[in-house]
Amino acid sequence: MLTPRFDAAGLVTAVVTDEASGTLLMVAHMNAEALDLTIRTGIAHYWSRSRSVLWKKGETSGALQTVREMRVDCDQDAVWIKVAVAKPEDTCHTHRPTCFYRSVELGQGGGALRQD
């Protein structure tokens, strides 16, 4: 059975990828209740660290995430969920289909951001 290793704030990290494209959509956090609701309902729930509330992703925006698969890492402090998104254009609060919409230049003198 899953025995999550919650951090000092009672959270595990959730890595969220698109089940079809494999794109990383977002990184979020789950407390015990969010994790339990996600497993039982198959709809992604998180803990909002900024608002300190349970957060059913997409409840307001419509960008609900249906969980197709959940995996857990070796030390059980991170889960990976592969999801189908109801309204992909609103996955990120910036109204983009992923939070990772910028690349970081590599190399000496790197660090520049580019939207691509």
CB atoms within 10 A of CB 73: 13
Q: Considering only residues 48, 71, 84, 87, which one is a binding residue for a second copy as defined by CB under 8 A?
A: 71
Which one, 51 or 111, has the nearer CB to a second copy? 111
Q: Are the CB atoms for 12 and 4 separated by under 8 Å?
A: yes
Q: Considering only residues 11, 30, 44, 67, which one is a binding residue for a second copy as defined by CB under 8 A?
A: 67
User: Applying CB under 8 A, does 61 fall inside the site for a second copy?
Assistant: no
User: Applying CB under 8 A, does 93 fall inside the site for a second copy?
Assistant: yes
User: Applying CB under 8 A, does 51 fall inside the site for a second copy?
Assistant: no
Q: Which residues contact 50 (CB under 8 A, 6 or more apart)?
A: none
Q: Which SS3 state, helix, strand or coil, does residue 15 take? A: strand
Q: Which SS3 state, helix, strand or coil, does residue 84 take? A: strand
User: Applying CB under 8 A, does 13 fall inside the site for a second copy?
Assistant: yes
